[in-house]
Amino acid sequence: MMQGKVVVVTGAGGGIGRDIALAMAEQGAQVVVNDIGATLAGEAPAASGTPAAQQVVDEIAQSGGEAVACSESVATWSSAEKIVQCALDRFGRIDAVVNNAGNLRDRIFHKMTEDDWHAVIGVHLNGSFFVSRAAVNHFRTQNHGAFVHMTSASGLIGNFGQANYSAAKLGIVALSKSIALDMERYNVRSNCIAPSAWSRMTSSIPSNTPDERDRVEKLKRMECRKIAPMAVYLASDAAVAVTGQIFAVRANEIMLMGQSRPLRSVHMSDGWTPQRIAETAIPSMQKHFYPLDRSADVMSWDPI
C-alpha cells in the first residue's frame, strides 16, 4: 500500500513508532526513522552502542527495505526542518509524516513545574506542529500528502497526573483538524490515532494498588504492533477520503472517536442573569454533565 512513498516517522526508535516504521517499510515505503534516543523524560542519554534509530534502520534493511536514521529533535523549528530535509536528501520526496515522538513528565497538578510543562508541550504539541509545518509546503506543491498524529485518551477523556501530556494531546487533535480544514484544497489529509499499547511510555504507569496492577496487566496484552496497520492505512492512498478524524486503536479494536458538538441548549428570551442561570439553566443541563471519568473508566472492558 505504500510502494513508492516516502514517510517520516518520529519517535521511531522503539515502541509504537518502531512498529509503524517497520510496517511502512514492509508495505513498500522508504522510511526516515527519526529518534533522538532520549530517556522517557526526554533527556539526552549517554552515548554508547548503536543508536535506537539506526537499529530500526538496520532491521528494515535486513528485510530488504530502505530507510535512513535521523537523530534531529522535533522540538525546534530548525531541527524539524532538518528531519524533512533528510527525507528529501536521501529519497528525493516526502509523502507522509507520522508525528509519534513523545515524552512524559507525569506529576500531580499542584506539584507540576514549569519545566515539566514546557518539556512535554515542546515535544508533543510543538513537535507535531514543527514537523508538519516543515513538510506541508512540499505536500502542497505536489498536491497530495498525509499527516498521522498520535493523540491519547488522556487528552480525549482524561487521566490523573498528566495535565501537561493531556493538554498537549488534546491540542494535537485541534492542530490536526485545523490542518485538515486548511489543506483540503491541496489534497492534504490529517488524522489522529489514540493508541492503547504497552510501550516504554506506558511502562511508567503506577502499579501500586491491586486495581493499578490489574490495569497494567491489561495494557501488557495490547501490543505496539497492533497500532501500525491504522497508521499505514491513513498514510496510504487508500485513505484518500479520510481526513479530520480521530481513531482509537486498542488491541484488535478500532474506534471512531467523537468530536465536540453542542449537547444541550437552554434559552431565556429576555436574557440570563447569574441567578437565572443558577435556578434554571444549570438544573436543566446538569443531568447531561460529564462525570470526572478517566480513560480507564470509559474504556473499562478488557482488550479484545
Among candidate residues 165, 186, 233, 290, the one labeled active-site is 165
Contact 280, 270 (CB under 8 A): no
> Strand, coil or helix: what is 27?
coil
Query: How would you write the pLDDT of the chain (304 residues) with one tens digit per residue?
Result: 999 999 999 999 999 999 999 999 999 999 999 999 976 665 656 455 789 999 999 999 999 999 999 999 999 999 999 999 999 999 999 999 999 999 999 999 999 999 999 999 999 999 999 999 999 999 999 999 999 999 999 999 999 999 999 999 999 999 999 999 999 999 999 999 999 987 655 555 656 777 767 766 766 777 999 999 999 999 999 999 999 999 999 999 999 999 999 999 999 999 999 999 999 999 999 999 999 999 989 998 888 8
> Is 165 labeled as catalytic in the residue annotation?
yes
Question: pTM of this prediction?
Answer: 0.92
Which residues fall within 8 angstroms of residue 290, CB to CB, at 6 or more apart? none
C-alpha cell at 203: 511502562
Taking each helix axis from N to C end, the angle separating 52-62 and 15-26, rounded to the nearest 10 degrees, works out to 30
Which alpha helices (DSSP H) does 64-160 contain, by range? 77-91, 114-121, 127-142, 153-156
Q: What is the pLDDT of residue 198?
A: 76
CA-closest candidate to residue 150, choices 211, 102, 117: 102
CA distance 196 to 218: 10
Q: Residue 141 corresponds to which cell in the numbers above?
A: 506543491
DSSP state of 238: G
Domain architecture of the chain: domains with CATH: 6-259 (3.40.50.720)
C-beta separation of 201 from 104 below 8 A:
yes
What's the count of helices (H) and strands (E) in the chain, helices before strands? 12, 8
